[in-house]
Amino acid sequence: MALIKKSAAPRNPAKDDRAGARDFDGLTRQLDEHDATARRWAARDLAVHANASAALLTRLQRENDVSVREVILTSLMRIADPAAIGGLVACLRSEDANLRNEAIEAMKSLPVEVAPIMRGLLVDQDPDVRIFAVNILESLRHPDVEAWLVEVIEREPTVNVCGTALDLLAEVGTSASHDALERLKTRFASEPYIQFAADLALKRTASMSDGQK
């Protein structure tokens, strides 16, 4: 026995579980294959098909295999068209906590695509969706994150949403948010948590000018 080198390029698998047609129709059919590996490969190869979002989102709703779900989400992130973004937003309204969290994680990586719809999500009629939108801002690399959070604490009626926004403002905010934080304290004068979290945010951002973010 020894170190050996094959004479040709790496072999194709002996059992070719990717033997189905690799065109759009073939790949979307394979999203429903019994074998998880075939579904995973189909989801991956669909990333280069701009019109694949709907099929991927449909599969995501009923996919139970974690590895396939992860690949579907990565392909949606790669396509990142309005259909993909709209589908991820729809996942925020799901009863499935895993799906909601996966959608939040995916949207965090898409600052350019998510930015145009962020204001709408932050005023969604469902307060849970508004909290998830703040969760997305947590690691969204976008220059308007602080401005969006300030808008939330200026007008948001639900204390839990404001609390979530305050936690994040304490991390990413600057002195530009101070006036809004003071107004929030006035608006929720009888809410001890808001008083505590707003004071913490004021303290943590006191030395942060806008240019030090």
Contact 168, 138 (CB under 8 A): yes
Shortest Å distance, C-beta 188 to other proteins = 35
Min dist. Cβ of residue 170 to other proteins (A)? 23
Residue 36: CB minimum distance to other proteins, A:
10
Instruction: Give the burial string for 151-188 (b: 16+ CB within 10 Å, else e).
Output: bbbeebeeeebbbbbbebbbebbbeebbebbeebbebb
CB closer to other proteins out of 10 and 143? 10
**Binding region for other proteins (CB under 8 A):** 1-6, 9-13, 18, 37, 40-41, 44-45, 47-48, 66-67, 70-71, 74, 77-78, 109
Minimum distance, C-beta of residue 151 to other proteins, in the bound complex (Å): 26
Q: How far is the CB of 111 from other proteins (least distance, A)?
A: 10
Q: How far is CA 167 from CA 57, 83, 96, 106, in A?
A: 32, 31, 25, 21
Give residue for tokens 């145009």. Answer: 116
- Residues shown for the chain: 213
Closest CB to other proteins among residues 6, 62: 6
In the complex with other proteins, the residue whose CB is nearer, 13 or 26, is 13
Q: Which residues contact 100 (CB under 8 A, 6 or more apart)?
A: 91, 92, 94, 132
Decide: 134 and 122 in contact? Cβ < 8 Å.
yes
Nearer to other proteins, 78 or 155 (CB): 78
* Cβ distance to other proteins smaller for residue 3 or 189: 3
Query: Of 124, 123, 90, 127, which Cα lies nearest the Cα of 107?
Result: 90
